[in-house]
Amino acid sequence: MNYPDNIFLVGFSGSGKSTIGPLLAKELNYEFYDTDSMIEEKAGMGITDIFVKGGELKFRKFEAAIIEEIIKNITIKKVVALGGGAFESDHNRDLFLKNGLVIYLKCSADIIIKRLAESDDRPLLQSINYTNRYEKIKQLLSTREPNYNKAHMTISALEKNTNKLIATILQEIKNYNEKNLG
C-alpha cells in the first residue's frame, strides 16, 4: 500500500491531532512533527507567551516559517499535526492540499470543551470562564469549519480507542487512494 509522503492533520484544539499524529507516524514508519511544539522551540517560549508578548500576528509568523520548513523537506515522509488555526490561511491551506493528504479530525464543540476543560495553554481560550469558553469554541469552530471541510478527507475523532481510530484512518487513506489514484 502506498501512502502519501506527507499527511497533515487539521482540526480544532483538542481534536486529537497531537495524540493521533505520533501513533499514525509510528504505524507508517514516518517522522512526526507538531507545528505548535516546533514554534515553541523556535521561539524559545510557550505559545501563550508568544501571544502575550507578540500577539496572534507574531505567532502566525512563526507558524508560517515552520510550515515552509516542513513543506520544503521533501526527503522525509511525515505526519504533521497542525495548530487549530493553521488551516485558516489561504496560503497555508493551499500548501497543505498540494503537498500531501490533509485529514480533518472532526470533533463536536461538546467533546472539545470536555477535552479542554482543564487546559490553560490555549491562548484564544484563556481567561474565559467555562460557559463563555464553550460559546467561544462554538464560534471559532463555526468560523473554521468551512476551511476544515476543504481537507481531502474528514474522520470523526470521537473514537476514544486510538488503535481503532488509527485503523479507521489507514482504511480511509486506502479508500481515498483507490478512488483518486485508480
Q: Per residue in 100-116, pLDDT tens? A: 999 999 998 888 877 77
Return d(Cα 130, Cα 134) in angstroms, integer: 6
Given CATH 3.40.50.300, say whether it is the number of domain 6-174.
yes
Return d(Cα 62, Cα 25) in angstroms, integer: 24
Q: pLDDT value at position 182?
A: 59
Q: Per residue in 111-133, pLDDT tens? A: 887 777 655 554 445 555 556 77
Q: In what order do the strands lie in the sheet with 6-10?
A: 31-34, 78-81, 6-10, 101-106, 153-156
Query: Domain limits of the chain?
Result: 6-174
The pTM assigned to this predicted structure is 0.89
Q: pLDDT value at position 168?
A: 94
Q: What are residue 154's DSSP bridge partners?
A: 104
pLDDT at 143 over 80: yes
How many other C-beta atoms lie within 10 A of the C-beta of residue 42? 14
Q: Per residue in 26-82, pLDDT tens? A: 999 999 999 989 998 988 988 888 888 888 888 888 888 999 899 888 888 999 999
pLDDT at 137 over 60: yes
Q: pLDDT value at position 123?
A: 47
Decide: helix, strand or coil at residue 111: helix
Instruction: Please provide the average confidence, as pLDDT, over all residues in the chain.
Output: 86
